[in-house]
Structure formats: structure tokens, C-alpha cells
Amino acid sequence: MHRVAFKMQLFQGFEAEYKKRHDELWPELHALLKATGISEYSIFLDETTNSLFGVLKAEDPKALDDLPSHAVMQKWWTYMSDLVVSNPNKSTQTVPLKELFYMP
């Protein structure tokens, strides 16, 4: 199992809405993420910078590269694009984070 971490930028004032939308995660998106081999997925908020930090476990990190081809993923990005910094195709701008320490 591989750990994957990344950061995103949340627009100021949308913290509650971001949490609400994730609390109501679409079942079809949840199923896609699980089918892709994703588990233990968390997103943390740094309230001083409004940076979001995502951490997940993936059976095969290369399988994540296929997520953009799924309609439900594209629909989710569009749904979330008013809350986070996004790319022109509406995908969330993410910055991969390099692991420097891990204590199992």
C-alpha cells in the first residue's frame, strides 16, 4: 500500500461548504475511489492559510492517473470548482507532497 499526499487551495470563507459537500460525498464517487484502490482518504485544513492537505492510501498510485477519464470525477470537479483553485478543465489544482518522515 502506498501513501499519497497533496495540497490544494480553498477559497476564503468556504470552509463549511467544503466540509458539507464532502460529508455528502456522492455514492458513485465513493465507489469509484474504492474501485481504484483508494482507502483511508483524509483531507485536512490549515486554517491559517486555507490550504487543504489530502492524504490517502492507494494500492497502485498509477491507477489514480485514470480517475480524470471518469464522468463522475469530472462532474465532481465542476461541482467543487467554486470552492477551490482549479485548472481550466475544472480539475482541482493539486501539488504533490514529498514524504520526509513516516512512523508506522
Q: For 54-87, what is each residue's pLDDT tens digit?
A: 999 999 999 999 999 999 999 999 999 999 999 9
User: From residue 23, how far is each of 3, 7, 57 by CA, in Å?
Assistant: 22, 19, 19
* C-alpha to C-alpha distance for 86 and 82, rounded to whole angstroms: 8
19 — pLDDT class (breaks 50, 70, 90):
very high
Residue 36 within any structural domain of the chain: yes
Residue 37 within any structural domain of the chain: yes
Residue 103 within any structural domain of the chain: no
Mean pLDDT value of segment 31-45: 98
- Hey, which residues does 10 pair with through a beta bridge? 84
Question: What are the residues whose beta carbons fall under 8 Å from the beta carbon of 91, sequence distance 6 or more?
Answer: 68, 77
Residue 104 within any structural domain of the chain: no
Residue 82 within any structural domain of the chain: yes
**pLDDT score, position 77:** 97
Question: What are the residues whose beta carbons fall under 8 Å from the beta carbon of 100, sequence distance 6 or more?
Answer: none
Q: Which of 2, 22, 30, 70 is catalytic?
A: 22
Q: Model pTM?
A: 0.91
Nearest to 11 by CA among 88, 72, 93: 93
CATH of the domain at 30: 3.30.70.100
Total of domains in the chain: 1
Residue 2 bears catalytic tag: no
**pLDDT score, position 48:** 97
Residue 101 within any structural domain of the chain: no
Residue 83 within any structural domain of the chain: yes
Residue numbers of the domain that contains 9: 2-96
